[in-house]
Structure 1
Amino acid sequence: MKISEFAKKAGVTVKTLLHYDKIGLLKPTEKTDVGYRVYSEKDFLRLQHITTLKFIGLSLNEINQLLYETGENLESMISIQKKALEEKKKHIESVITVFNKAENQIKENEFLEVENLIDIIKLTNMEVKVKEQYKTAENFNLRGNLHSYNINKTDWNKWCFNQMKFPNTARILELGCGTGDLWYKNAYNINNNWSIILSDFSKGMLQSTREMLKEIDYEFMYQEIDAQDIPYEDESFDVVIARNMLYFVPDIEKALYEIKRVLVKDGVFYATTTAREAMTELNILVEKFDSNLGLNNNGMCDRFDDESGQKLLKKYFSEIKIDFLQGKIVVHEAEPIISYKASTINGSSILVGEKKQQFTKYIEDYIKEKGNISITTKGCIFKVKK
């Protein structure tokens, strides 16, 4: 088929096909001596991959990279696309839930609170960004690297574990287990009478957890779970843990409802997060560098930090306690700062190329003048009883 016939059959424009050819995304099967592009039936397969991945929300560069990495293995490509579409479906359902809440509030109160508008804005902007961030442990570890410069050497994972109280025989569910650091750092305190399920929405992250914990003498169970739809019956667990992950959940209240549902009577929910004033010095630095970047804050954390988190928890639980761990990061080089901000959801697409070079120079100049960068850290743990 010549390009016009191929475009007509596929329902795309000739201009689109010319662009795909130019950037190497979809090359015609052949070009004639006089320059005509000729397409064959196999080119429909490539075009189908492109259109589906575009619908999911990937950029043309990301699609090109993905197709290059996976090749033309039809089964693997269909599997990848199906999984991505399922994630998009979940995201759309979460957006619809927020709109339904907003609609009901308007009917009841004849107005819509600003908080609902903020939720809609953030939720509709999340798309696959969160999923991309945590497909593997790479970005997770980059952010953890900056915290290794904390002069308060209290280990966060040990501190969290010491704040938790478990029955001698306990059914425990951790949502968003990350790389399993909580259990790795506290392996000597694990009771063999406990039944521990470690879950995450990311298969890649769960694989990292398995690798981390494989040498520990305990049979952990692993499961891919969406916190908004926990696949267990009512009152299945004595303890539920969610550490620094609730602010990434599209519908936090739906997750809290699910957590309360699967907890036994008098069961305990432990949730950790960042305090609102954490990383203030770094956020001020970014603000002075370029206030238009949108990186001068703690990102998604304000959806469930020490203040907003307490308000949300009060809607579902009556007994809520909170404890804090404060520290100070002191760094004498720019790299940990740059990696930290560039690994965040927004930073990964903003701090690239020339902008990243400019930010690096800005931080290097600041350190050269001041000697170091000092950043306040403050995390907290909610202890919530059903």
Structure 2
Amino acid sequence: MKIGEFAKRSGVTVKTLLHYDKIGLLKPSEKTEVGYRIYCEDDFLRLQQITTLKFIGLSLSDISHILNESGENLESMVKIQKRALEEKKKHIDSVIEIFNNAENTAKQNGFLDVNNLVNIIKITNMQKSIKEQYKSDKNLNLRTNLHSYNTNKVDWDKWCFEKMNLFKGSKILELGCGVGKLWVKNKGFIDKNSEIILSDFSPNMLKSAKNNLKNIDFKFQYKKINAENIPYDDEIFDVVIAGHMLYFVADIDKALSEIKRVLKPNGIFYVTTNSCNSMIELNELAERFDSNLDINNNGLSTRFDLENGEEILKKYFNSIKVEMLEGKIIVDKAEPVVSYKASTIQGNSILVGKKREEFTRYLDEYIKENKNIEITTKTGMFKASK
């Protein structure tokens, strides 16, 4: 076949074939005395290989290299490219999600300005960080470890349970149940006639909860739930519980609207969170260490904390009461403090390698000079009813 016929049959342009010839990627089987390029079936098969590898994203130089190497090298290159394409797909899915969120916001508000779009992008990115954070219970355990140094030895989960009015025969939904600690710590007080549904957005958290509760003589129900879209009918729950999770929800107002919807007229919503002043000394230490790292704050918890939570809840609930629990962590070694900060969403990707070592040395010096690190804890529970 001459080049024109070959181009027509193969579905590529003559210009493309001339370029492939020039760079040595696909040379014709022969050239006539007058300069005509002649292609055969073998050339067609090689062009198919080139087209396939180009389709999966390989560059022409990579294609030229691997077509002359062993099959093992080709396999390796394809695996690498597959991973790259998977990452690209995740990025595209993320962008589509952003546009979907933007479209929904525009429909609800009648318009979409730049600030709204920026917020939607932040929230979408935040959701990915949260999902990564709670793939397992590792980060939760690291944060719990630091709290074991608290001078206030009141058990948090037992304190919460005591503050809840969980009457007999209640239908209870816990959002963001985590590893099920609330029920593990209070297993002796679970009413056998109640119906308890434990939910989380993370399948791995639900798996951990199931494992931790498997020896308790009670039939818990488990369900993966997004708090913004609770898959139950109106007014069926006596109690909804959300422990230190509401500030992770992308649309807090939507979640509260859903929680109000599924609660019975006399139902109660128990929601726990931190004070903006909790861990203030640790945040100040992080600020002095390096103010540019953005680990000198309580992260996402400021979206719903003890200071602003009541105003947010007032839009949905008529009666709101709050209970506080304060304490002080006193620790004389750096590692539990470093691990705590490194386990947070903002610290997870920052306090690694050399930067983690530097932060550890900084805290070691502080402890050497001050004998220990004292960190204020202040957390609490809102009790909201319709």
The question of a shared fold, defined as TM-score above 0.5 by the shorter chain, is answered with: yes
Change (3 A) 1:89 1:204: farther
The residue aligned with 1:173 is 173
Please state if 1:132 is matched with 2:170.
no
Asked whether the equivalents of residues 199 and 224 of structure 2 are also in contact (C-alpha less than 8 Å), the reply is yes
Change (3 A) 1:310 1:43: same
Provide the rounded CA distance (Å) in 1 between the counterparts of 2:97 and 2:262: 21
Provide, for residues 87-119 of structure 1, a one-character-per-residue CA deviation record: whole Å limited to 9, x for no partner. 98767645654566666597xxxxx9x8x6884
Provide the rounded CA distance (Å) in 2 between the counterparts of 1:102 and 1:340: 40
Please state if 1:51 is matched with 2:85.
yes
Query: 3-state SS of the aligned residue for 1:273?
Result: strand
Provide the rounded CA distance (Å) in 2 between the counterparts of 1:88 and 1:199: 28
Letter in 2 for 1:138: K
Please state if 1:8 is matched with 2:54.
yes
Query: 3-state SS of the aligned residue for 2:310?
Result: helix
Provide the rounded CA distance (Å) in 1 between the counterparts of 2:109 and 2:216: 47
The residue aligned with 1:383 is 383
Asked whether the equivalents of residues 235 and 264 of structure 2 are also in contact (C-alpha less than 8 Å), the reply is yes
Provide the rounded CA distance (Å) in 2 between the counterparts of 1:159 and 1:205: 22
Query: 3-state SS of the aligned residue for 1:151?
Result: coil
The residue aligned with 2:69 is 31
Provide the rounded CA distance (Å) in 1 between the counterparts of 2:109 and 2:266: 32
Query: 3-state SS of the aligned residue for 1:129?
Result: helix
Asked whether the equivalents of residues 240 and 270 of structure 2 are also in contact (C-alpha less than 8 Å), the reply is yes
The residue aligned with 1:123 is 123
Asked whether the equivalents of residues 247 and 300 of structure 1 are also in contact (C-alpha less than 8 Å), the reply is yes
Return the offset for 1:278.
Answer: 0.4
Compare CA radii of gyration and give the structure with the larger one.
2
Provide, for residues 288-343 of structure 1, a one-character-per-residue CA deviation record: whole Å limited to 9, x for no partner. 00000001000010011112322221111121111110000010100101100111
Asked whether the equivalents of residues 88 and 128 of structure 1 are also in contact (C-alpha less than 8 Å), the reply is no
What RMSD in Å do the two structures reach over aligned CA positions? 3.0
Asked whether the equivalents of residues 105 and 112 of structure 2 are also in contact (C-alpha less than 8 Å), the reply is no
Provide, for residues 212-250 of structure 1, a one-character-per-residue CA deviation record: whole Å limited to 9, x for no partner. 111111111111111111111111211000000011111
Provide the rounded CA distance (Å) in 2 between the counterparts of 1:14 and 1:348: 38
* Bigger mean CA offset, 46-55 vs 135-144: 46-55
Return the offset for 1:10.
Answer: 2.7
The residue aligned with 1:340 is 340
Letter in 2 for 1:294: D
1:28-107 pair list within 5 angstroms: 31=69, 39=74, 47-57=81-91, 93-94=100-101, 96-97=103-104, 104=111
Change (3 A) 1:6 1:262: same
Query: 3-state SS of the aligned residue for 1:217?
Result: coil
What number of residue pairs does the alignment pair up?
Answer: 339
Asked whether the equivalents of residues 29 and 38 of structure 1 are also in contact (C-alpha less than 8 Å), the reply is no
Provide the rounded CA distance (Å) in 1 between the counterparts of 2:215 and 2:68: 54
Change (3 A) 1:296 1:117: farther
The residue aligned with 1:355 is 355
Asked whether the equivalents of residues 30 and 39 of structure 1 are also in contact (C-alpha less than 8 Å), the reply is no
Provide, for residues 123-163 of structure 1, a one-character-per-residue CA deviation record: whole Å limited to 9, x for no partner. 14314110011011111111111111100001100111111
Letter in 1 for 2:69: K
Provide the rounded CA distance (Å) in 2 between the counterparts of 1:319 and 1:265: 12
Return the offset for 1:4.
Answer: 5.5
Query: 3-state SS of the aligned residue for 2:269?
Result: strand
Provide, for residues 254-299 of structure 1, a one-character-per-residue CA deviation record: whole Å limited to 9, x for no partner. 1111101111111000000011110000000000000000010000
Unaligned runs of 5+ in 1: 19-26, 59-84, 107-111
Letter in 1 for 2:54: K
> Matched residues, percent identical?
48
Change (3 A) 1:234 1:12: farther
Using structure 2 for the length normalisation, give the TM-score. Answer: 0.79
Change (3 A) 1:232 1:204: same
Using structure 1 for the length normalisation, give the TM-score. Answer: 0.79
Provide the rounded CA distance (Å) in 2 between the counterparts of 1:90 and 1:193: 42
Provide the rounded CA distance (Å) in 2 between the counterparts of 1:88 and 1:127: 13
